[in-house]
Amino acid sequence: MSIGLLGNKIGMTQIFDESGNIVPVTVLKMGPCIITQIKTILKDNYNAIQIGYGNLSSKLLTQPELGHLSKSNIQPLKYLKEFRVDDPEEFEVGQILNVNSFTMGQLIDITGKSSGKGFSGLQKRHNFSRGPMTHGSKNHRAPGSIGMGTTPGRVLPGKKMSGQLGNKIINIKKLKILQVNTRENILVVKGSVPGKPGNLISIMPSK
């Protein structure tokens, strides 16, 4: 049973398919990851596998984090993440996971943090249309009216306004794997992936 992996986004490029068409792709460096803990219904009330990724100096971890990993005789790891599974008995602590569990043509779900774009206005953040640019108009990119008057006399929650854009966890579903390099633990995925090059991402087989 294939579970999720942690890795980094390398960047985007393009390849040619069998028909000579250009296909935009994203190159991902996934794993190798190590299983750090196995959770079961009897002990933890749910079945899950915790995996770790990214070697790190022990000086950069807290004592509880070091104690959690040293309990299983595992080196310090930078990232830990859980994935729900149906049969935790198929795995064991210390097992190495890599891209061998994924195949060409398989569909996967990718989760990562999107690029932060700072404080953005209505046109960029919510795709609002602008006001007229001529004939003495004083409203070009202004928000205009944002609520009612006497009743209810306030701005309702959820109103689309200016604010922070990007820098959020994004999940993109059903991206197709075009190439698998088991030697370098690299996946080539069709389409774009959230975040900048070097961004931490996690992948899971699509349901």
DSSP 133-191: SSTT---SS-----S-SSSS-SPPTT---SEE-S-SEEEEEEEEEEEEETTTTEEEEES
Residue 1 has pLDDT above 50, yes or no: no
Residue pLDDT, tens place only, 129-181 = 999 999 999 999 999 889 888 988 999 999 999 999 999 999 999 999 999 99
Tokens 């007229």 -> residue: 132
What was the pLDDT predicted at 178?
96
pLDDT at 93: 94
Whole-model pTM? 0.84
Position 2 scores a pLDDT of: 62
| Domains recognised in the chain with CATH numbers | 1-31+102-115+161-207 (2.40.30.10), 33-97 (3.30.160.810)
- pLDDT of 57 strictly over 50: yes
Beta pairing, strands 33-39 & 22-30: unpaired
- Predicted pLDDT of residue 169: 96
Q: Tell me the C-alpha distance between 26 and 14, whole Å.
A: 8
DSSP 132-148: -SSTT---SS-----S-
Our measurement of the distance from residue 107's CA atom to the centroid of its chain's CA atoms, rounded to an integer in Å, reads 15
Q: How confident is the model at residue 3 (pLDDT cuts 50, 70, 90)?
A: confident
Whole-number average pLDDT of the chain? 94
- 12-16: long-range contacts at Cβ-Cβ below 8 A with a sequence spacing of 24 or more? 12/192, 15/178, 15/179, 15/188
Q: Taking a C-beta distance cutoff of 8 angstroms, is the pair 80, 62 a contact?
A: no
Distance CA 188, CA 180 (A): 7
- Bridge partners (DSSP) listed for residue 35: 51
For 177, list phi and psi in degrees, rounded to 5. Answer: -80, 125
Instruction: Provide CB contacts within 8 A for 108, sequence distance 6+.
Output: 102, 174, 175, 177, 189, 203, 204, 205, 206
- Residues 21-45: what's their mean pLDDT? 95
- The answer to whether 121 and 141 are in contact (CB under 8 A) is yes
What is residue 191's predicted lDDT score, i.e. its pLDDT?
A: 96
Q: Dump pLDDT digits (tens) for 58-93.
A: 999 999 999 999 998 999 999 999 999 999 999 999
* Both tokens assigned to 130: 């602008």
Q: Which residues contact 62 (CB under 8 A, 6 or more apart)?
A: none
pLDDT mean over 94-115:
94
